[in-house]
């Protein structure tokens, strides 16, 4: 799989992420602090990785910042991207299964190296549910940004 990775810092698991993903057989694109000469602020870095997914240059993204919050918010503003902020394996598994999440948002402060391994194991093991209700939810979420409020 091709994974686009962004971070606003090189601290914490940001420094391990690319090697970890490559060791799992993924091709990695990098943005922000992980890419020389790119703007490294979380909003720009996360948007760049999310646009790789939306535009088909990557299958999925992993977006990081100190809390993971800004990275997830920015990624979720890009149409077609469903980013999930995950601080544990259970949430990562559910994000893939029920939300068909295509961007994993991580906190550089909270996620330790062992926890990163657990979260990635769960994330990549999980397949999106094909249940009609689940697909309807995902399709509705993708359409929200494109529609005016119905209320
Ligand atoms: O949600 C935002 C992230 O946690 C940022 O990593 C944090 O705000 C630090 O950003 P800055 O280095 O721009 O202060």
80-117 tens-digit pLDDT: 999 999 999 999 999 999 999 999 999 999 999 999 99
Ligand 1 centroid from CA 143, angstroms: 29
Query: How confident is the prediction for the chain on average, in pLDDT?
Result: 95
Does ipTM top 0.90?
Answer: yes
Residue 51 is predicted with a pLDDT of 98
φ/ψ of residue 103, rounded to 5: -140, 125
- Sign (positive or negative) of CA dihedral 86, 103, 70, 35: positive
Residues of the domain holding 74: 2-144
CATH code of the domain covering residue 93: 3.40.1400.10
Nearest protein CA to atom 8 of ligand 1, as residue = 66
- Sign (positive or negative) of CA dihedral 10, 29, 22, 142: positive
Domain count, the chain: 1
Please state which of the ranges 20-29, 33-42, 82-91, 136-145 shows the lowest mean pLDDT: 136-145
The arithmetic mean of pLDDT across residues 8-20, rounded, is 95
Ligand 1 contacts (CB < 6 A) are: 8, 41-42, 65-67, 69-70
Cα 18 from Cα 29, distance rounded (Å): 9
Establish if 114 belongs to a structural domain. yes
């Amino acid at each position: 799989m091709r994974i686009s990775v962004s971070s606003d810092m090189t601290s914490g698991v940001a420094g391990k992420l690319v090697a970890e993903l490559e060791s799992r057989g993924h091709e990695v694109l990098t943005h922000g602090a992980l890419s020389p000469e790119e703007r490294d602020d979380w909003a720009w870095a996360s948007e760049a990785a999310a646009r790789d997914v939306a535009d088909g240059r990557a299958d999925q993204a992993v977006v990081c910042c100190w809390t993971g919050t800004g990275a997830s918010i920015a990624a979720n503003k890009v149409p077609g991207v469903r980013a999930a902020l995950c601080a544990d394996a259970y949430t990562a598994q559910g994000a893939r299964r029920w939300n068909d999440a295509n961007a994993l948002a991580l906190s550089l402060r909270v996620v330790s190296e062992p926890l990163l391994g657990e979260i990635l194991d769960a994330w990549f093991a999980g397949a999106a549910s094909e249940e009609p209700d689940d697909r309807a939810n995902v399709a509705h979420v993708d359409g929200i940004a494109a529609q005016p409020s119905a209320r």
